[in-house]
Amino acid sequence: MDQRSIRIVRLFGTALLLVGVVSALLGPAEVHVFYWFEDGGRFHYEGAGLGSLMFANIAIQIAGYYVIAVLCIPLGYGHLKLRWWTPAIMTTLLIGWLIVGLPLSLVALMMLVTSKGVSLVSLPFVALGFILLYPVLPVMLLRFYRSPSARRAFQTAEIPSNWLSETPENVKVAVSLMVLLALVLHFPLLFDGFFSLFGHVAFGLAGTVLVDLSIPATVVLIWGISRRYSWSWWFAVVFLALITTSSATTFLNISPHDIVAQMPFAPLEIEALSEIPMRGYQLALFVGVIPTATLVVVAVSRRSIIGPGDYSRAV
């Protein structure tokens, strides 16, 4: 790669670093928004606070800022210093984003429009930005990081033998999606422990316990899949299939408006949600996209995890 291309890579790294630093600053600053919805705040309405939809919306945005910072700051440094691990991580993240990015982008767009008051004039520009995020830029970047010129630029020294360099790409993608699932499983705690249970819905302490058990189970499976233990593949397939089936059967059998009515949302939020023409299959597709995508990736990665016909690597 010529010096001009290297300068472009470093310019992109500078942009990533700036995005990460800004996100790291916005995360704590966004906490102040909670006070705007408290009693006496400029945007207060009855029922706003812990348990309301707006509270969960703000909390998820804060978490998103921190995730962006954790990803962009190291990757920005990797681009600036042309570290060998940068293309490996970027390729894994880009493939994962192409798998689950469309529904997540639509949700992020909806949250931005509803919470930030995007005007009709600026809405087309916001939509264009999201189109660039999915799929235009990911596809372009993926082609670049897989190109020979990128390998020449980043592999300036001998690549060490470690997990990142030796693990098959599909296994790394499966691990990244399971990490995403572990993070997303925290979100139901903001909705009174909401947990879909094969055609039923658990709330309160019961739902919180089920969520609390699911998160460490996912973490254990992440460790097992990353080490390519055969038992982790079997348990991951069963676990992900159960979560996917449970979500599908719940949202296909229970009206979304009936679920919303049981949520501890503010009256104004329930009224607004009741006017949205939601269908059960739409929620089933949305809630099930991450576990379903993860299930598919884990399933097709069987040979990379336990090998063809290899049932002996249990430890």
User: Among the residues of 117-162, which ranges form H helices?
Assistant: 123-131, 137-145, 148-154
What per-residue confidence (pLDDT) applies to 310? 47
Looking up tokens 């939509």 gives 127
In total, the chain counts a number of residues equal to: 315
Q: What pLDDT is recorded for position 122?
A: 74
Q: Which residues pair with 195 in a beta bridge?
A: 202
Q: Which residue has the higher pLDDT, 50 or 70?
A: 70
* Residue 186: predicted pLDDT: 93
CA dihedral 295, 296, 300, 304 (to 10 degrees): -40
**The dihedral of CA 291, 174, 224, 235: what is its sign?**
positive
Which pLDDT tens digit goes with each residue over 84-112?
A: 999 999 999 999 999 988 777 776 666 56
Residue 204 pLDDT exceeds 60 = yes
The C-alpha angle 260, 38, 43, rounded to 5 degrees, equals 80
Reply yes or no on whether the pLDDT at 132 is more than 80: yes
pLDDT at 8: 85
Residue 228 zone, left/alpha/beta (φ > 0; ψ -120 to 50; rest): left
> What is the arithmetic mean of pLDDT over 224-240?
95
User: Quick one: pLDDT at residue 231?
Assistant: 94
What is the Cα–Cα distance from 13 to 145, expressed in whole angstroms? 13
Check residue 160 and report its DSSP letter.
P
7 has a pLDDT exceeding 80: yes
pLDDT of residue 311: 42
Core vs surface per residue 178-216: b (16+ CB within 10 A) or e:
bbbbbebbeebbbbbbbbbeeeebbbeeebbebbbebbe
Report the alpha-carbon distance of residue 60 to residue 58 in Å, rounded.
5
Higher pLDDT, 54 or 107: 54
Please state the rounded mean pLDDT for residues 214-243.
95
Mean pLDDT of 261-289: 80
Q: Is the pLDDT of residue 62 over 70?
A: yes
Q: What is the pTM of this model?
A: 0.86
Identity at 120, one-letter amino acid code: L
pLDDT given for residue 297 in this prediction: 94
Structure tokens at 167: 């693990």
Cα–Cα dist 87/135, whole Å: 18
**Confidence at 275, pLDDT banded by 50, 70, 90:** confident
